[in-house]
Amino acid sequence: MNNFKTLFLLIFGLFSVALFASPEEDLQKFRDYFENRFPETEFSDYKNGVYSIDLSSREQWESIEDFPPYEINIEQGEELFNTPFKNGNNYASCFENDGIGIRQNYPYFDENRGEVITLELAINECRKNNGEKPYSYYKGGPMADLSAYMASTSSGKIFDVEIPNDDRAFDAYEEGKRLYFTKVGQLNFSCADCHVYQTGSKLRADIPSPAIGHPTHFPVYRSSAGRLVSLHERFAGCLNRVRAKPFKAQGEEYRNLEFFISYMSNGLEINGPGSRK
Ligand code: HEC
C-alpha cells in the first residue's frame, strides 16, 4: 500500500472512531496513527513535543535545556511550597504523599464533585481552604512556579489518567474530545487539524507538535514570553491564532480538554517544566 493510501485510511479511521469510540479505542487509534506517521519516533519521545519529530531544531533546544531557563522558577516554587500559610498549615497537607511526585495523577475526575480537577485548580483550592487568596492563572508568577516545582518532583513518573466508570466522567472526556475535533475561529481550524492531521508540516515558521505528549512538560518557559506559560494559556494562544475566542483558564472547557489530552498522553513520562521558543 502506498503512503498516501495508508495516511488516508488512518485519517479516515481516526475520524470514524473519533465520534463513537471508547476512550481506550481512541487512545489506541492515536498511538497507531502517530506510530505510522512518524515511524522513526520512539513512543517515549513524544514527551518532547515538537522536538520528537523536528530533529533540525532539536539540537538547539537540547543545548537550552542544558542550562534550563526555568531553574529559578523551580527554586522559587519550592520555596513557596515549603512556606507555611498564616494558619500554620502548608501545601503538603492538601495533597497525597505531601504533594511530592504526584503530577502524573492530574487531572483526575472527582466523583464526589462531578468534575475534572487539575493540579493548578487543586493548588488554589488548597490556598482557599487555608484562608489564603487564590493566585492568578495567568502570566507566570507564583502559580506557575508552584506548578513547575510540583511537576519537577514527578520527573520520570508515568501519566496514568483514569476515566472512572461514571457517566459524568465519560461526558467530561467526550466534551474535551469534542473541543479537540471541532473547527473554530475565523480560520476554521480544530486542534486536531494542526496537532493530528498537519503535525509535522510547516505552518508559517512553526511545525505543530503531535497531539500526544502535550501535558507532560508543562508549565513551559517560553523565551518569546520570557516567563512560564501554563497549559491553559497555551490552549488560549492556539485559539487566538485561529481567531477563536479563548475560554477562561481553569474553566470547565479547558479542564475537560486537559482531561482528554492527558488521557491521550497516558504511558508517557512527566518531564516538566520544559522550555520552548
Ligand atoms: C493553526 C494550527 C494550530 C491550531 C488550530 C492549534 N494549535 Fe496548538 N500549536 C500550534 C503550533 C504551531 C504550536 C507551536 C509548536 C508546537 O507545537 O510546539 C502549538 C503549540 C501547542 C501546545 C504547546 C506544545 C508544547 O510542547 O509546548 C499545546 C499544548 C497546544 N498547541 C494545544 C492546542 C490545542 C488544545 C488546540 C485547540 C484548542 C490547538 N493547540 C490548536 C498550532 C496550532
Whichever domain contains 134, its CATH number is 1.10.760.10
Residue 159 lies in a domain: no
Cα–Cα distance list, 126 to 96, 114, 143 (Å): 12, 18, 12
Does residue 114 sit in the same domain as residue 242?
no
**Closest ligand 1 atom, residue 180 Cα:** 37
**How far apart are the C-alpha atoms of 204 and 206, rounded to whole Å?**
6
Q: Note whether residue 140 is domain-resident.
A: yes
Which of 120, 152, 184 marks a domain boundary?
Answer: 152
Residue 158, in any domain of the structure:
no
- Long-range CB contacts (within 8 A, 24+) of 244-249: 244/184, 244/185, 244/186, 249/137, 249/138
> At residue 144, what is the residue type?
A
CA 40 to CA 105: how far, in whole Å?
Answer: 29
Which residue do the cell numbers 504533594 mark? Answer: 99
Atom 7 of ligand 1, nearest CA residue: 238
Residue nearest to atom 20 of ligand 1 (CA): 208
- Shared domain for 63 and 189, answered yes or no, is yes
Q: Whose CA is nearest to atom 11 of ligand 1?
A: 208
Determine the distance separating the centroid of ligand 1 and the alpha carbon of 7, expressed in angstroms.
21
Q: Which residues, judged by CB distance below 6 Å to any ligand atom, belong to the binding site of ligand 1?
A: 49-50, 189, 191, 193-195, 203, 206, 208-209, 214, 220, 231, 234-235, 238-239, 241-242, 257, 276
Q: What's the pTM value of the predicted model, to 2 decimals? A: 0.94
* Claim to verify: residue 80 and residue 54 sit in the same structural domain: no
| Catalytic site residue from 94, 191, 194, 238 | 238
Do 81 and 187 belong to one domain?
Answer: no
- The domain tally of the chain equals 2
Q: Is 46 a domain residue?
A: yes
What pLDDT does 202 receive? 85
Say yes or no: 29 and 134 in one domain. no
Cα(208) to centroid(ligand 1), Å: 6
Question: Measured from the CA of 231, which atom of ligand 1 is nearest?
Answer: 29
State which ligand 1 atom lies nearest to the alpha carbon of 220.
27
The CA 236 to ligand 1 mean position distance, Å, reads 9
Q: Are residue 133 and residue 176 in the same domain, yes or no? A: no
| Whole-angstrom distance, CA of residue 72 vs CA of residue 90 | 21
Q: What is the pLDDT of residue 203?
A: 81
Question: Does residue 238 have an active-site annotation?
Answer: yes
Q: Which pLDDT tens digits describe the chain residue by residue (277 residues)? A: 345 545 555 555 555 445 568 999 999 999 999 999 999 999 999 999 999 999 989 999 999 999 999 999 999 999 999 999 999 999 999 999 999 999 999 999 999 999 999 999 999 999 999 999 999 999 999 999 999 999 999 999 999 999 999 999 999 999 999 999 999 999 999 999 999 999 988 888 889 999 999 999 999 999 999 999 999 999 999 999 999 999 999 999 999 999 999 999 999 999 999 999 9
- CA distances to 66, 94, 275 from 222, rounded to whole Å, are 15, 30, 6
Query: For residue 23, how far is its CA from the centre of ligand 1 (angstroms)?
Result: 22
In a domain, 157, yes or no: no
- Ligand 1 centroid to residue 90 C-alpha, Å: 35
Domain that holds residue 75: 71-152
